[in-house]
């Protein structure tokens, strides 16, 4: 009788390597490793050998960079979705994309379970598991770090020892460094001195994609981008797909110290955590998109869209990508993007994105209306009646309050 299969979200790191023999020992599963490439930039060579050496029966390496860019990043860019005013959702957007692929592989393999190595204190366990529940409610989820009765390893040393005991002797490092998550959109850093919010980050050791603004060039660099229906199409005159534009913007933004944030954020599980995020290309893309949108959206739509953007950021942060609410917000946003077409120009300089002009065939900006020499469409006298009516509730209230205070003085 063949063994039941489990699909393991596999990075090739120490945690997920130790999980392979642990799954076999405690559940008797046949372990299928699945490494999902969202643009980590890490070396994926040699993973096959490492997975097999660790006892996996098969390894999938799945490149989802374009799907991640088009189907997960762009809906958030179009919405202007930013969590707690700063975080551009780099990890939050990637987790549902990974969950979707894990489910696909599990279905293909006929697996009964999916296993992930996220800790019991973080947001990622929620994002992975909500994605899996929404797409495959029948598949069992295994989270070793929460199974403290049978997952007894507490440190990297414990995990290395466990691997050696099971015949896996790989060159893993015992030293604790920053806990990082990298993909096409960003890299996050937690741990070490960042665990104390009173300590300044050691940017010289920490930064991977960027230089600090102090070390950025002394000359600004101009960039031009075009959009069609909210989607970026060209960068400096060259047509590229979204993932290529983000890659190119990462290089430009990193060079000029763009998009480095140090934030204490509220995790879904109820605690605050401090992290540093580098999102050079994403910060530029979001700013360029907003720069164009200002010309095109009317005030009422823009106002509601800001609310929807904040709501989408919360929904995505909480791992609720595959929900009716997320779908409905994205549908609203797509309607707002129909005419977000045009060109923006800006310059990058020492951590700043400075506007340098924008044009759109759908611009609602009218020079004749906005200038001091207004034409037939706007008569200054019309403002009299408008202000009278617009200010009427304030005036009535003030009169009533005055009346009331006079009565009291009698």
The C-alpha atoms of residue 40 and residue 345 are separated, in whole angstroms, by: 29
- Calculate the CA dihedral of residues 65, 66, 72, 74 and round it to 10 degrees: 130
Tokens for 303, please give them.
């106002």
Domains annotated for the chain, with CATH where assigned, are 5-165 (3.40.50.620), 179-297+340-359 (3.90.1260.10)
Could you give the angle at the alpha carbon of 9 between the alpha carbons of 7 and 14, nearest 5°?
Answer: 120
Contact (Cβ atoms closer than 8 angstroms) between residue 90 and residue 188:
yes
Find the DSSP H helices in 236-339.
242-255, 280-296, 299-317, 324-336
Give the mean model confidence (pLDDT) for residues 154-172: 92
User: Residue 385 pLDDT more than 90?
Assistant: yes
Read off the pLDDT of residues 335-369 as tens digits, 9 standing for 90 and up.
999 999 999 999 999 999 999 999 999 999 988 88
Q: Note the pLDDT of residue 43.
A: 67
Question: Cβ–Cβ contacts within 10 Å for residue 317, how many?
Answer: 23
Helices 90-109 & 299-317, crossing angle to 10 degrees? 60
Contact call for residues 116 and 16 (beta carbons, < 8 A): no
pLDDT band at 408 (very low <50, low <70, confident <90, very high): confident
**Tens-digit pLDDT profile for residues 8-67:** 999 999 999 999 999 999 999 999 999 999 998 776 778 888 999 999 999 999 999 999
Whole-number Å distance between alpha carbons of 216 and 187: 19
Asked whether the beta carbons of 65 and 39 are under 8 A apart, the reply is yes
Query: Kind of pairing, strands 5-9 and 113-115?
Result: parallel
Residues carrying an active site annotation: 15, 95, 124, 179
C-beta separation of 210 from 253 below 8 A: yes
Average pLDDT, the chain: 95
Question: What does the pLDDT read at residue 406?
Answer: 87
CA distances from 279 to 9, 87, 97, 109 (A): 24, 9, 19, 36
172-226 pLDDT tens trace: 887 878 999 999 999 999 999 999 999 999 999 999 999 999 999 999 999 999 9
Distance (Å) of CA 100 to CA 3, 5, 94: 24, 18, 10
Q: For position 375, what pLDDT does the model report?
A: 65
Comparing CA positions, the residue from 294, 280, 286, 288 lying closest to residue 226 is 288
Element (H, E) at 75: helix 74-79
Look up residue 346 and give its DSSP letter: E
Residues paired with 180 in a beta bridge: 189
Tokens found for residue 117: 């190595």
Confidence check: pLDDT of 374 > 70: no
- pLDDT for residue 410 is more than 90: no
Q: Which residues contact 341 (CB under 8 A, 6 or more apart)?
A: 227, 228, 229, 296, 360, 361, 362
């Amino acid at each position: 009788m063949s063994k039941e299969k489990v699909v393991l979200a596999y990075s090739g790191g120490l945690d997920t390597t130790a999980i392979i023999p642990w799954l076999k020992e405690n559940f008797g599963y046949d372990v299928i490793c699945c490494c999902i490439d969202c643009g980590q930039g890490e070396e994926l060579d040699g993973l096959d050998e490492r997975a097999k050496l660790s006892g996996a029966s098969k390894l999938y390496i799945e490149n989802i960079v374009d799907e991640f860019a088009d189907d997960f990043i762009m809906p958030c860019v179009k919405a202007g979705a930013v969590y707690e005013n700063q975080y551009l959702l780099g990890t939050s957007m990637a987790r549902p994309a990974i969950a979707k692929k894990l489910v696909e592989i599990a279905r293909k393999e006929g697996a009964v379970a999916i296993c992930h190595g996220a800790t019991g204190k973080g947001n990622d366990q929620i994002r992975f598991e909500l994605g899996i529940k929404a797409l495959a409610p029948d598949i069992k989820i295994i989270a070793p770090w929460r199974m403290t009765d049978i997952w007894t390893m507490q440190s990297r040393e414990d995990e290395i020892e466990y691997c050696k005991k099971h015949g896996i002797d790989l060159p893993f490092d015992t030293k604790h460094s920053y806990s990082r998550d990298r993909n096409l959109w960003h890299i996050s850093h937690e741990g070490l001195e960042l665990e104390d919010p009173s300590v300044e980050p050691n940017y010289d050791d920490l930064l991977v994609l960027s230089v600090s603004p102090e070390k950025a060039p002394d000359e600004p660099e101009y960039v031009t981008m075009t959009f069609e229906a909210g989607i970026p199409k060209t960068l400096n005159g060259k047509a590229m797909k979204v993932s290529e534009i983000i890659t190119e913007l990462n290089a430009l933004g990193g060079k000029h110290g763009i998009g480095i944030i140090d934030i204490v954020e509220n995790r879904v599980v109820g605690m605050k955590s401090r992290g540093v995020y580098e999102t050079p290309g994403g910060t530029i893309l979001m700013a360029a998109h907003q720069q164009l949108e200002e010309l095109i959206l009317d005030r009422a739509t823009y106002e509601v869209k800001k609310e929807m953007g904040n709501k989408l950021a919360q929904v995505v942060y909480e791992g609720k990508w595959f929900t009716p609410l997320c779908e409905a917000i994205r549908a609203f946003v797509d309607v707002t993007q129909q005419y977000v077409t045009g060109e923006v120009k800006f310059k990058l300089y020492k951590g700043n994105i400075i506007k340098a002009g924008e044009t759109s065939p759908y611009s609602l900006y009218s020079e004749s209306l906005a200038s001091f020499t207004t034409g037939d469409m706007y008569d200054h006298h019309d403002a009299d009646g408008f202000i009278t009516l617009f200010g009427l509730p304030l005036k009535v209230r003030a009169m009533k309050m005055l009346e009331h205070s006079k009565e009291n003085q009698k």
